Every structure is written in structure tokens, then in C-alpha cells.
Amino acid sequence: MVLGPYFDAGCFLLGRRHNQKPLIKKGKGARRSPSRTPRSVPSLATYLPFLWAPAFQGLKSRPLKVDGKMDATNDAPKRNRSLAVHILLWTTVLAVLLGAAGATVALLGVGKWLVREDPLQPTTAIAVLSGNTPDRALEAAQLYYDGYAKEIWLTHPGLRVDSLAELGIRYPAEDDVNTRVLRRVGIPAKAIHVLETPIVNTDQELEVISATLQSRGGQKVIIVTNKAHTRRVHVLWDKYFAGRGQIIVHAVSDDPFQPGHWWKYSGSLTQVVHEVLGIMNCWAGLPVEATPLKNSAVMANGENVPEHSAAD
């Protein structure tokens, strides 16, 4: 609407000036040069700036129509806000997707992260943590025959056994079973030492083992456990018992734990959940306490419950 009259006038003038080919001569018989190529029509901006410039400048400064009415306000701030909202929305979505992908990768890799074994070397003793009888005891026997230590230490998980003993029921303790296993495979009795302080969980076991290592004047001890348990043993020792000596954590060789596909097997899944919760408890300062031992069990050897007790 604004440019109509100007545009028509410009086209008329340009057409008159450039759309016709020049004459060779005037008068009768005049003809137009067939060999001369007509020049291109210049743009409107070249010849008629005085026509279009004011019109466009006025168009830019005029308010926009909204629903048939003139809006006196400029909608640029609204567009900027809308753009900012879209950018924020897509940034949030991208962050959530990246976080979910990272969490999935970390979750699938937690099984491998839990396994932390150390290179074997000669030590003062080989300590067998309670559980997984008789596999851990058999692994300790193999290490003994390989010459890594001259003693095997067994912990004493006596809560259930001591409770049954009070009722007059004879039930073999785990350390009794491990002793029989070691004797059956040829380990001499003098090389087997049961650490008599009753324990409930890994933290208490490491307390007893570290105290024994310190009292014997030793520097290093091999800890035999399961693959998924090796990381938590390191975390507990480094936080509470590192000043008493060095540990070399070794897992059972034929442990069925599947670190790369732990979510596919119920046994591996249970171990991962148990160990992750245990490590988190250790990082938090062991706020979850272990089941307390009965007084009769605790005082059986004239000792108190070790410090830093926590659920295993």
C-alpha cells in the first residue's frame, strides 16, 4: 500500500528509458540495432532512492497490526522472552538426557568398580574374612602353599553360635568349619590362628585383624574375601585402620560374581546393592550401626565390642 504509487512511477520511467533499443538513425527507415545487447534495468534503489527510502523508513517505524488494530507497543521484548524460554527448555531437556545417560553408564559399570584387588606379595599372615565357607578358606590355603605367608588367621563370628551354646545346643562355628577345611587340605595346625574376639561385620573383622597385626609387629596382611567385597574392605581400612599397617586384598579365584553383567543374576545383583549401601554408610561415617552382640558373647574373651561398628 505504501510503495504502490512509487513503484508504478519508477517502473514507467525505467521502462521508457531502458526497455527500448537505441535507434541507429532518425527519420524514415530507421531501424534498431540487432547486434547490440540491451542493458539490464538498474534496480529501483539506484535511480529512485528518493522514492523508496522514505517509504521504507516510514514502514519500519510504524506500529504493527494486531487483530486488525494498530498495536502501539513493539513486540520485540516478547519475542526475546519467548526465545529465552525455548533455550532454557531445550537446555534443561539436554541436561536431563545427558544426566540419564551418564547415570546409566555408571550404574552398569558399578560391578567392575566394586572389584579392587591388589598384586600379591609376601606378608605377615593371610586373614580370612567370614562368609562364603569354604571357598575363602580354600583360597587362603592356596596362598599359603604359594609361599605368601606362614600363618592363616580366621575371624570368629560368634553371635549365633554363642546364643545356641547358652541353650546347650552344639553348633559348629564358622571358624571351626574353616579350621577343619584347612586341616583337610594339609595346612598344619600351628599355622592356623583363630582371632577369638567375636565379630558381627566387616568393620569389626578389620578392627580385630589390624589390632592383631599391630601387636605382632607386622607390616602387611593379605585379606581374602569375595570380588564384590574388595572395594568396601579398602574403603574401611583406608578410613579407620591405615595407621596399623597395609592390607593386600585378594578375592576368591573362582568367585561366580559377574561384574560386567551383575544385573542379570540375582546373586550378583544382591551383592552389588549390599556393597554399595555399605560403602555409602562408610563414607557417611557409619551412621548405621551393627546388631549389638550379647553381653555373654562380648565378654567371652574379656574384650569389648570394637569401634566403628556398622551394618555389614
pLDDT digits (tens, 9 = 90+) for 173-223: 899 999 999 999 999 999 999 998 989 899 999 999 999 999 999 899 999
226-240, 274-288, 292-306, range with the lowest pLDDT: 292-306
Mean pLDDT across 60-87: 61
Domain ranges of the chain: 125-301
Mean pLDDT across 232-246: 95
pLDDT for res 292 = 62
pLDDT digits (tens, 9 = 90+) for 96-126: 888 877 777 667 789 999 999 999 999 999 9
pLDDT digits (tens, 9 = 90+) for 26-55: 555 555 555 454 555 555 445 444 444 444
Strands (DSSP E) contained in the chain are: 65-66, 69-70, 125-128, 152-156, 192-198, 220-225, 246-251
- DSSP assignment letter at 240: I
DSSP assignment string, 21-85: PPBSS-STT--B-SSSPPPPPPPHHHH-HHHHHHHHHHHHHSPPEETTEE--S-SHHHHHHHHHH
As given in the structure block, the three cell numbers for residue 307 are: 569401634
Query: Higher confidence at residue 229 or residue 17?
Result: 229
Q: Are 50 and 10 in contact (CB under 8 A)?
A: no
pLDDT for res 159 = 65
Residue 195 in 3-state DSSP? strand
Q: Is pLDDT above 90 for 144?
A: yes
% residues pLDDT > 90 (the chain)? 49
The confidence band for 56, taking pLDDT boundaries of 50, 70 and 90, is: very low
Which CATH architecture group holds 125-301?
Answer: 3-Layer(aba) Sandwich (3.40)
pTM of the model: 0.64
d(CA 214, CA 207): 11
pLDDT for res 74 = 57
